[in-house]
Amino acid sequence: MGYSKDAECLRLGKVPADAGTLAEISVGLDSLEDFIALHYLENYIPFGGSKIKFITGRPGSGKTHLARRLRNRAEDMGYLCVSFSARDVWLHDFREVYLEIFRQCGFERLLSDCARQIIQELGYDPAAVGDGRNFMDYLTEQGEGDALSKGEIRAALRRCFTRNPLLDNCFAACCSLLTGAVLGHPVLEPSNRELLLAYLRGDKGVKLSQLRALGLSPSGITRYNARHLLRSLSELVRLSGRPGLLVTIDDMETLLDRAADSPRRYTKLRREDSYESIRQLIDDIDSMRHILFLLCFDRELMDNDSYGLKSYQALWLRIQNEVVSTRFNRFADIIDMDRYADEAYDEAALLNMSRRLSDALRRLGVDAAPLDAEAVRDVAERSRFGSLGLPYLINRAMLEGGTANV
């Protein structure tokens, strides 16, 4: 029998893609989600703050579930959200991380939104410009396409980009030229437009000498300037009218994968370079603005003394104090989903979780029955000594007739 994508995800204990199904099965996370949304998404990031949150726990403990809920919440609040798996992007070179964020951000749409912000700043209604023409065309039709109007557009571009201290000089110049092309002034040839976009995408075929002909002083995108470019990108997100940028990187335990046939096999050097990139990101986060990172990984990455976070002292020294408390601390940079489960998942919550999962599975065509109180207590007790998280075990117990392999 064929199952829908969401049904197959639930059968395998994975997070469904549909936001409605995800909300339907969510139990116990509301308090934590509301806390992060209130203190970070509503009252910190939009006012210029930046933060890194580490989400850890055993497999199936709800890391991806929480991150996806926060992403859905952030999107509803107008954030630009980017997410990817460490299985798909190398982490040892921050250039690759930055370029993946850039690829997903919808850069040209951001520029169009910046153009609308400039039109409003100049006292016009962007809706009046309409589709199929640019702002300069509109001004010409209104009899206002004179040198004075062109000067005001150039001055607005300078205020927004080239005189913005939070933007890299070359990044700012590119944004100014490209946004000017959207507005209709200054005019940019299509070939030059494609050249600028290719450079910003990190295309290796772009010759820097071609960019110098446009008056730029470019340098290549490297692991050394990628964090500065990320700061520029997050500022562009703000200039477009959004409250901030949310970046979620999942499956970071891939750093421990040393299998010879793995597509993301991390040697000792690559792994240490990855840890160094995270350390530098932690050190630089206060110089960034309007950006929230959610880094998700199985707790093996934290517990493995030989290859995990503890093996790189420069990084471990920056985060070790976040894991010594005996109580769950919502303000801590490390969100331990196993510790949170001890406080949030009492018997009533687990019974409710079982019922919601059962309803969702049956709606999606999967045969499942909710657990009774005795089965819930049995699964919860055995989960204390197992290697898998409690939400996953509840799901498996339902599908396997009240048993769970712990």
pLDDT tens digits, 153-178 = 999 999 999 999 999 999 999 999 99
Helix extents (H) in 240-372: 268-284, 300-303, 313-319, 337-344, 347-363
Task: Give yes or no for residue 54 having a pLDDT over 80.
Answer: yes
The two beta strands, 50-57 and 291-298, are: parallel
Radius of gyration of the chain (CA): 25
pLDDT tens for 302-337 read 999 999 999 999 999 888 764 455 678 888 899 999
pLDDT tens for 25-38 read 999 999 999 999 99
pLDDT tens for 340-372 read 998 899 999 999 999 999 999 889 888 888 999
Task: Report d(CA 391, CA 29) in Å as an integer.
Answer: 11
274: left (phi over 0), alpha (psi -120 to 50) or beta: alpha
Higher pLDDT, 323 or 182: 182
Task: Give yes or no for residue 405 having a pLDDT over 50.
Answer: no
Lowest mean per-residue pLDDT among 30-39, 220-229, 296-305, 375-384: 375-384
Model confidence, pTM: 0.93
What the block records as the tokens of 176 is 């100014």
What is the reported pLDDT for 321?
62
Task: Give yes or no for residue 382 having a pLDDT over 90.
Answer: no
Task: Report d(CA 385, CA 406) in Å as an integer.
Answer: 8
Task: Give yes or no for residue 188 having a pLDDT over 80.
Answer: yes
What is the reported pLDDT for 41?
98
Contacts of 247 (CB under 8 A, 6+ apart): 81, 82, 83, 101, 291, 292, 293, 294
Q: What is the DSSP letter of 232?
A: H
What is the reported pLDDT for 189?
95
